[in-house]
Every structure is written in C-alpha cells, then in structure tokens.
Amino acid sequence: MSKSTEEAASGGGVDRQPRHVAIIMDGNGRWAAAHGYPRGEGHRRGVEAVKRAVRAALELGIPTLTIFSFSSENWSRPRSEIDDLMGLMKRFIRRDLAELHAQDVRIRVIGGTDRVDPELLALIAEAERTTSRNTKLDLVIAFNYGSRAEITAAARRLAERVAAGEMQASDITVSTFEAALDTAGMPDPDLLIRTSGELRLSNFLLWQCAYTELVFLDICWPEFTHEHLVEAIRTYRQRHRRFGGLADGTVP
C-alpha cells in the first residue's frame, strides 16, 4: 500500500472515510479529440479508467462506488456512438465479470430498461445474479439513468399505491419515497467526483446528493487514476459536513 493510500485509508477516523463515492465520468470525447483519436477510442480508454477506479475503491476500502455510465439523455447522440457505448458495456460484462466476481464485487445496475438491447439486458441480469452475494464492494452502474425520470417514476409508484388503497397519502415520507427510488437500500453518496472540469450534476442522483460533498477535477475521465481518487478523498476529509446544523453539531 502506498503512502498516499495509507493517508486516505487512515487519518481522520472511520467517520471521515466516505462510505459511498459517486463519479460522473466526463470527458472521454474531449480527451480523444485532444489526442487526435476518434470518440470511440476515448470511450474505450474510459473503460480502462473504470477498472482503475474499481481497484482503487477496493484498496481504499470504500463500500459503495457508483459510476454514471450512460445517461437517458445520451440517446440523442449519433447512432454510431450509441452503438459503440452499448458494445463497450457488453464487452465490459463479458470480459470483466469473472474478475469482479473473484474480487467479491457486487454489481447493481440502476436506470431504465426502455430502448436497451435485450441481449444487453440479459447480460446485466446475469452480472447482478452472479455477484448478488458479494460483499466487499457494491459497484453501482447508472445506465440509461436520469434522476428526474427516477424521481418521477417513484412518485408515480407511490401515487398508484395510494389509488389502490395500499397506503394513505399521509404515509408518504422521506423514507417511503427513498424506498421507491432506484437506489433503495443504498447509502446516499458522501462524495461525488466529476471529471473534465464541468461544474454541474447533469441530472445525476439529484435526490441522493442533497448533502453530498462535490469535488470537480480538471482532468478528462480517461486520465483518472488511483491518486486522483486519493486526492478527492483528502479534499472530502477537509470539509465540515453539518447537514443543516452548526460546525459543533448543534442545531441552529
């Protein structure tokens, strides 16, 4: 274990170690353009960065890692790029599932199933089923995901239950609403990292990131390394999370 890894994994106490890190993996296309490659090569290098991030999360002892793989808004991209992204997701599962399973990684995919190739849906189901009992790291892949659609669907499900007489409107609380989201049962992200220098959430985990610490990195996703994750955690540990209270923990 490197010195920087030891610093991130210790120092500051267990309560300062993020339980859940979410990443908006941005900049594949810009990285490719800057290096004279087609956009597809940027996405392929981005998959390698995902593997590095998973290895780093395992080494640092982070229980949950969520990555924004494909947005529900990405369908507006050229068909050739969409096909390339879908192919990369298939290859990632086929080539890396065995290794992830051996590393005790549990895979969970959140997002809609509409417009997704049935072959890919079957591979996703296989990956979730194969790794369902693993406990070292929850790797959550947000695929065909949009937070507004997730929140709308949760509201619709609860409204349908009220209409069916299964619950009262007064039964809808923060807890019951969270249980209707795609992320039910998961802790909210403590830390969200976005690469490429963009300073926005882009419809990603809007409900779940109400009190998340945000770190923006001025690098493109294919450049992301173990050290970038360590540095983001170091920045996170320098923050004071008050959740609406005061620095000393009292309520204002």
Q: What's the pLDDT tens digit per position in 121-176?
A: 999 999 999 999 999 999 999 999 999 999 999 999 999 999 999 999 999 999 99
Task: State the pLDDT confidence band at 250, using cuts at 50, 70 and 90.
Answer: low
Is the confidence at residue 3, as pLDDT, over 70?
no
* Predicted pLDDT of residue 246: 58
In the annotation, is 74 catalytic? yes
Mean pLDDT of the chain: 91
Q: What is the spatial distance between Cα 70 and Cα 80, in angstroms, rounded to a whole number?
A: 15
Q: What percent of the chain has pLDDT over 70?
A: 90
Mean pLDDT of 186-207: 97
Cβ 217 vs Cβ 232: under 8 Å: yes
Cβ 241 vs Cβ 219: under 8 Å: no
Dihedral angle over CA of 7, 13, 14, 17, nearest 10: -50
When the candidates are 3.40.1180.10, 3.20.20.370, 3.90.1150.10, 3.40.50.620, the CATH number that belongs to 12-146+188-236 is 3.40.1180.10
In the annotation, is 203 catalytic? no
DSSP state of 241: -
The residue annotated as part of the active site, out of 26, 84, 138, 190, is 26
Task: State the pLDDT confidence band at 1, using cuts at 50, 70 and 90.
Answer: very low
The residue annotated as part of the active site, out of 15, 28, 74, 117, is 74
* Predicted pLDDT of residue 17: 87
Name the pTM for this structure: 0.90
Is the confidence at residue 189, as pLDDT, over 90?
yes
Mean pLDDT of 189-210: 97
